[in-house]
Amino acid sequence: MFLFRLLFVVVFIYLISFVVRNFFVRPFRQGYQERDQSSQAKRARQNEGKTSLNTNGQGRTHDNHQIGEYVDYEEVDDDDKAS
């Protein structure tokens, strides 16, 4: 008798989970997927032909003087060395 009750409870829980998945979760998931696809297509149409620029910071241009080092140089005339 105990085995029959246990089997009945297991089958009942499986059926409840099956019904919940197929009649409640799946339609919501499909609705969200369709909404996401339509919004992505709409965004792609809106952004067509636009140019975007990624900047460092919040749109401010800045010079980083700590990159590299400054080297003084002097031009040498090649004609003076030939003599």
Give the tokens for residue 60: 């401010």
Contact 58, 64 (CB under 8 A): no
Q: If you compute the radius of gyration of the chain from its CA atoms, what whole number of angstroms results?
A: 35
Segment 31-46, tens digit of pLDDT: 888 888 887 777 777 6
Contact 31, 25 (CB under 8 A): no
Segment 17-36, tens digit of pLDDT: 998 888 888 888 888 888 88
**What distance in Å separates the CA atoms of residue 54 and residue 68, rounded to the nearest whole number?**
23
**What distance in Å separates the CA atoms of residue 83 and residue 39, rounded to the nearest whole number?**
76
Give the tokens for residue 54: 């990624």
